[in-house]
Amino acid sequence: DTMQGALMIITIWFIMSLTSCFLRITIGNRIKSEWTGDKGMFYYGGTVQLGLLLGTIPLYILINLFGIFVDRKPCQVYCVS
């Protein structure tokens, strides 16, 4: 509930997004240059989609079935001073 916390979350989210995009582009470029034809990019796309699916299923279970992550109530102060 502080400005520093909000800035820290935004900064970390931005850095992680850039790192993830950079790694995906680098790996895709490496596969494209090493594999002949279009099979490399096909398998790369398939593994990216499989990774997204395998990451989504546990989060869906944690959020919707177990209710571990819940929304914050607006206008309620959570900081203890």
Classify residue 45: in a domain, yes or no.
yes
Q: Which domain holds residue 60?
A: 1-66
- 74 occurs within a structural domain: no
Assigned domain for 76 exists: no
User: What is the pTM assigned to this prediction?
Assistant: 0.65
- Sign of the CA dihedral 75, 68, 20, 48? negative
- Whether residue 77 is contained in a domain is answered as no
pLDDT greater at residue 1 or residue 42? 42
pLDDT in tens, 30-81: 998 898 888 888 989 999 999 999 999 999 999 999 989 877 777 777 666 5
Domain count, the chain: 1
